[in-house]
Chain A
Amino acid sequence: MRIGVIGLILPPTFCFLEMMWRICPALAVGCTVVVLVPPASPTPLLVAQLAGELGQFPGILNVISGPASLGPVLASQPGVQKVAFCGAIEDGRALRRALAGQGPELGLALGAESLLLLMETADVDSAVEGVVDAAWSDRSPGGLRLLIQESVWDETMRRLQARMGRLRGGRGLDGAVDMGARGAAAHDLAQRYVHEAQSQGAQVFQAGSMPPDSPFFPPSLISDLPPASPCTQAEVPWPLVVASPFRTAKEALAVANWTPRGGSASVWSERLGQALELAYGLQMGTVWINAHGLRDPAVPTGGCKESGSSWHGGPDGLYEYLRPSGTPTCLPYLSENLNYDTFGLAVPSTLPAGPETGLSPAPPYGLFVGGRFQAPGARSSRPIRDSQGNLHGYVAEGGAKDIRGAVEAAHQAAPGWVGQLPGARAALLWALAAALQRRESTLVSRLERHGVELKVAKAEVELSVRRLRAWGARVQTQGCTLQVAGLKGPVLQLQEPLGVLAIVCPEEWPLLAFVSLLAPALAHGNTVVLVPSGACPIPALEVCQDMATLLPGGLVNVVTGDRDHLTRCLALHQDIQALWYFGSAQGSQFVEWASAGNLKPVWVNRGCPRAWDQDAEGAGPELGLRAARTKALWLPMGD
């Protein structure tokens, strides 16, 4: 089902084609679009003219030419269901913070830097042409990080410098030039970067002599930049190339992934096995092998980490503008007086209840971290009361340290889980389902104590078992091949896990929601940190006892405690790849705001309960889509 009104905020550096690639899919699925573009280039006027020609359907495409500060204004208009932002990373972050609680979903496509990995087994001359395509042409979106294997460093630098000497800058419409100008802002940014790099000890080689106040910036090659310098962390602007050496393929992968951004990259090597291994290992949205900058509207293009998680092109691009049928429209749920600095900071202290009478309760549940139950850092527990008000049990009071430990354990377990064959993953999920079934009577009695009717409790357990089995069966293998017009060779659309997924489970359906959220996350290769229902966490902890014996340690980690405090820790954690929050409206707003830290994709319920027992909401394709990300792998063919 289409989303509705889309607000699209585009940067001035986009060409007409890129703007249309964002607008057309939205229109195609039936959404109406309002585009906001800064007036630095005439391209938006062309789009506006086209919009005006859609006479039969006035209003489906609207173009506003205005400053970027209008972005939040556009987003807060009633009726805007989704805002898609393309542009600089810091602007995206600011927008994410400004839109927390406003209502519309936010899709971010940020940054323009790309990466080129040059192995010693590459065709160096062709790779140099790849560098030209990536950084020194009018089609290149931004600067380039160039990683060169040490053994071919000298010959690559020599060829690069010779090639730079042949590049021609000039007015963009002159057919014989390679690079035009992109405005004063881009020029200044590049100039500042070069000066800073030089002051940090780098060598800068520039081709062509430009007069000092010409709008054209010469192509520049920066080398010997110390890895610890601030310039290495910052995004490389157009038209600069920052070259660094590496020794082995393993080091290349580590250096390539050691950046907060994850947009696009190319691998140059004539050894197929090595090229594929690197391509699979890179944390990027698009990887080209022995090519750079190939684009096609049928191939999903997007990024990961701080490059934003929104996609355009291919089926993923269409899903950006769709939502499951029956989902209510997004309404603003802003709570004006939410203090981001103090939300969930302190755990409200509770006086211990009076002396307990009756049977002595079971020893408190610990936290389930790293495959076993362990005591929380704070060494305290909280009581769980059943529907009669009697003491049901004690669960651990988890805090920031425990979250940190849980995320670390999840990261340690991640490579092993990703490396598992799909069949093995499916087998584990089925084994867990079987264990759950054996535990049915215990679970039913626990649920009953919290006021759930026997029939409903039984149904809940049965449905949980069924969902685990279903997701086990749906464990995806690597992905499908797309056919791209104009390319000889396949483009693989790989489905990859996000990494560590943090899930704050809802209060309703304490067992079913727990399982319904856990299963798709695991099935897609993620490792999970969960915060179960606050009022009724014990069924979840019972399931953990089975997971302790069946699943590898660290795969699933369950932390109990004050939900707001734990949500705060998870939302602010920089090393969690996605966060699903099903709790209060205030919590949802905080999660949206805090996710701007590392721009992790979030899924919040805005305080509204979900019908977990309905398949559409509890086991629909939306869960699978949110639990994985795509990587497009281009393999041009020919010898």
Chain B
Amino acid sequence: MSAHQRGTELDLSWISKIQVNQPAVLRRAEQIQARRPVKKEWQAAWLLKAVTFIDLTTLSGDDTSSNIQRLCYKAKYPIREDLLKALNMHDKGITTAAVCVYPARVCDAVKALKAAGCDIPVASVATGFPAGQTHLKTRLEEIRLAVEDGASEIDVVINRTLVLTGQWEGSDFIKTSTGKETVNATFPVAIVMLRAIRDFFWKTGNKVGFKPAGGIRSAKDSLAWLSLIKEELGDEWLKPELFRIGASTLLTDIERQIYHHVTGRYAAYHDLPMS
């Protein structure tokens, strides 16, 4: 991850001057999805780039070390070797950006990644995920323990009570949602967040990262997200240090698209390694 933010003084007047016009933002969101379609080999290239942004995630109640191991292996080898060879990308070190698990599973993840010989970071959700309604003391303890176990990134759930009463905190990354709500990452919301990131950068010089999470399942969606970042923030943000996609089934769809690009045929679910 990038160097830590220096941070700035909280200036509430920046927030009170913000105006957002919802119908206009909705129109822009529709436009982004329709414009800038990418085809053929460029699409394959963008999809591989999208893979490098994925925080491969598993956040189920029945996670155990076996499925964590499978996940970590998939993170190291996200696309089948022969497909990458066909694209001449097998030696470029294409892995996902991180692996994202519950705090209790961080140990397993670290062990599995070491066994696979992979140095991608382990991210852990913490602080009473997903609702965030636990005591501050336990939340801080969770973070401490996760870091001790080997997690180098923490997805913090902010206290929504504080938000709704106007008491703000700072961060290195902003995430659209936990991924556990009914409506998660949508384009209109993202547009507003990205504009805020750009504003903050223009005012302070600090770059804050962005992570949409939840509801991104198809390769086409991921391409739309990439083009949104490129349009609103520019190429500088298209790096794993500043952009992540929180997803689990997205990788399968991307792999299937790559399979189709390479072979011209549609794959069955069992043609590709399980994650």
User: A residues engaging B (CB < 8 A)?
Assistant: 121-127, 129-130, 158, 166, 175-176, 178, 268, 270, 290-291, 488-489, 636-639
Contact = CB atoms under 8 A, between A and B. Distances in A.
Interface in B21-49: 21-28, 35-38
Contacts of A637: 23
Interface residues of B, number: 17
B27 A121 contact: no
A127 B26 CA distance: 13
Contact of A270 (B19, B35, B38, B202): B19
B35 A638 contact: no
A130 B24 CA distance: 8
Nearest to A268: B21
B24 A123 contact: yes
Contact of B23 (A127, A158, A175, A290): A290
B231 interface: yes
Given A158-B202, A175-B35, A638 B26 contact: yes
A129 B232 CA distance: 11
Contacts of A121: 19
Contacts of A270: 19, 21
B20 interface: yes
Interface of B: 19-28, 35-38, 195, 202, 231
B227 to A, nearest CB: 9
Contact of A126 (B24, B35, B36, B37): B24
A158 B203 CA distance: 12
B28 A126 contact: yes
Contacts of B35: 175-176, 178
Contacts of A268: 21
Given A178-B35, A636-B23, 9 more contacts: A123-B24, A126-B24, A126-B25, A166-B231, A175-B37, A176-B36, A290-B23, A291-B23, A637-B23
B27 to A, nearest CB: 7
A62 B202 CA distance: 57
Contacts of B38: 176
Contacts of B26: 638
A171 to B, nearest CB: 15
Contacts of B24: 123, 126-127, 129-130, 290-291, 636
Nearest to B20: A123
Contacts of B37: 175-176
Contacts of A291: 23-24, 27
Contact of B19 (A122, A129, A175, A636): A122
Contacts of A130: 24
A489 B23 contact: yes
A123 B21 contact: yes
B16 to A, nearest CB: 12
A210 B202 CA distance: 28
B55 to A, nearest CB: 27
Contacts of B202: 158
A637 B22 CA distance: 8
Contacts of B19: 121-124, 270
Contacts of A178: 35
Given A166-B231, A176-B37, A178-B35, A638 B195 contact: no
Contacts of B36: 176
The 4 tightest CB contacts between A and B, nearest first, are A126-B24, A636-B23, A123-B21, A638-B22
A488 B21 contact: no
